[in-house]
Every structure is written in structure tokens, then in C-alpha cells.
Amino acid sequence: MSSRKVTFMGKLRVSEKNLGYFLVIPALAVVAVMAFWPTLAAFWMSLHDISLIFRTNRFIGLENFKTMAGDPAFRNALHNTVYFTAISVALETLLGLVMALVMNGAFKGRGAVRASVLVPWAIPTVVTSTMWKWIFNTDYGLFNFLLKRFHVISSYLNWLGDGKLAMGCAIMADVWKTTPFIALILLAGLQTISHDLYEAAMIDGANWWQRFTRIMLPLLLPIGLVAVLLRTLDAFRVFALIFVLTGGGPADATEVLSTYTYKVLFSTSNFGYGSALAVSMFVSVALISLVFLNFIRLVTRSS
């Protein structure tokens, strides 16, 4: 196939493979300028002591990463990020699956439901975060009002002012917003599963649970993993939600890697250490992707 010759622009005869390379050059150039160069620059800056304020710019090797290893604020942010990512993605996947199953069924007004489910996903994060900030407000928030009205709590809780509760609130807001994303991808996956498979299984006497675990879940797994991967990467880099909802407080309880990096970069103008933090995020995200992609490859090969 690669040795096949094709005619290019009426004259040139080139192999199809070479033509392919030629045609992706513009796209690659854009990626190189827009993605690779800034990434490499961040790597390079992470090996320097750069302070805009004190006008220092000197090479210090891995010193920034050593500082990071002993920086309790970094460890706290890393811990919070992993916690936030694990819990929110797990909840989103479970709820998303349930939503997809419901939407996959035949019922009246299915189109309207499918469209309305997307609303949270369609609103900009900054807007939904501001909305949730008011919902969780201690004195006037809807959340406290409803919980008290239905006697779940006896007195108002300080949702965003208590470390543990604040993280829970952030996770809840994230789940509300991004579950539709997973649900939609899973729904698309569900619809590619041929009905013949279910019918054959039914003829063989498989009950609902067997059809669900033996046919639906295995066939949904590859696309489901891709959805989970995308969500994990997004959740790991969460910024706008936390920035608006709590600003990382109270007492650093919701400080995540991206908000901490932002503060170091732009509040203190410490570009060397800030870049090192950004690089650590990049590496974490790359590792997560690698693990997931290998897993996806394994799954698709075995099936």
C-alpha cells in the first residue's frame, strides 16, 4: 500500500505514504508552534530560578523539583487533586451509566430528555460555579434552605467554610456539570451494540442481569474507558470550578495543583517554580494517559 504511486497536482508522482507526510506538514507545524514549543519552554523554565520581580534568571538544574518534594503546600494540592479526581470521576461514571441506560430505553419525550440532560454541560464552568457558590451559601443558599425544610439538618451548615464539606461541594458541582458528558458518550456506545446480540442471548435464556454484564458492559468498555480517560484528565486539571467556588480555601482544603500553580505563577511571579509545578502536572497527566491507553489497548485486543 505504501509503495503505491499517486499523482499529485496533476504532475508529480509520489508514493502515497510520502504524500501523506507532505499533507500533514501544515497541521504538524501548527501543533509544533502552539503545543510543543510552549511545553518545551515550560520544561526549560522549570530548570531555572526565574523571578520577574527580582529579575533573576539562572539555571539551577533540578533544584525546583527538590523544593517541590519538600513543599507541604504542593503535597496538599496533589493530595486534594487526586482525591477530587478519583471521587468525582467514579461518581460521574456510575451516574453517567445509569443516565445512559435510561435514555437508551424507549419512552415518550426521549428526545427532550436527551437534549435537556446536556444543559449543565453546555453552560460555561465559571457561570455554573458562581451559581453553585450561591446555592451553597450558608445564610441564603438554596441547599441549606431545602435541607432544613425537609428536616435533613437541624441548623444551617457552613458548606464552603468547612474543609471537608467544601471539597464535597466542589465534587458535587463537578458531578452535576460533567455527568452528562459521560452519559452521552456511553449512550452513543450503547446504540452501536447490535440488537441481534440481545435477541440471541434471550433465545438462549439469558436474564436481564446476564445480558447486562455479559453483553452490554464488555462491549461498552472500550468507549467507556475513553470517556473516563477524558474526564480524568479534565478533573486532574480542574481550575475554574475551584477558583470561583472557594479560591482554594478554607485553610487550603480545596487547593488543587492548578490553582496552586496559578498562584505561584501569577500572584508571586515566580516563573521558575511555577513552571516546575506545571511540568509536574503535565507529567502526571501524561502518565495517567499512558496507563489508560495501554489498558484500552489490552481490553480491545482481548475482545
| Interface contacts to another protein, rule CB under 8 A | 52-55, 73, 137-140, 156, 158, 160-163, 246-253, 263, 266-270
| HSE-up (13 A, CA, CB side) for residue 221 | 18
Question: Which of 236/262 has CB closer to another protein?
Answer: 262
**CB within 8 A of 220, min separation 6: which ones?**
186, 189, 190, 193
- The minimum distance between CB 259 and another protein, in angstroms, equals 11
Question: CA–CA separation, 227 vs 124, rounded Å?
Answer: 20
Q: Helix, strand, coil: what percent of the chain each, to 5? A: 75, 5, 20
Residue type, 213: T
Choose between 103 and 253: whose C-beta lies nearer to another protein.
Answer: 253
- Cα–Cα distance for residue pair 166/133, rounded to 1 Å: 10
CB of 242 to another protein, least distance (A): 12
Query: By C-beta, is 13 or 164 nearer to another protein?
Result: 164
Kindly state the smallest distance separating residue 37's Cβ from another protein, in Å.
17
Q: How far is the CB of 267 from another protein (least distance, A)?
A: 5
For another protein, the closer of residues 37 and 266 by Cβ is: 266
State which H helix or E strand residue 51 sits in.
Answer: strand 48-51
Q: Report residue 254 as a C-alpha cell.
A: 480545596
* Smallest distance from another protein to CB 72, Å: 10
Task: With beta carbons less than 8 A apart as the criterion, state whether 181 and 121 touch.
Answer: yes
Smallest distance from the beta carbon of 84 to another protein, in angstroms?
17
Is 2 in a helix, a strand, or coil? coil
The smaller minimum CB distance to another protein, of residues 54 and 59, is found at 54
Radius of gyration (C-alpha) of the chain in whole angstroms? 25
Which CB atom, from 141 or from 189, has the smaller least distance to another protein? Answer: 141
Residue 56 beta carbon to another protein: minimum distance, rounded to whole angstroms: 10
Of 35 and 126, nearer to another protein (C-beta) is 126
Q: Which amino acid belongs to residue 134?
A: W
Q: Which residues contact 120 (CB under 8 A, 6 or more apart)?
A: 128, 176, 177, 178, 179, 180
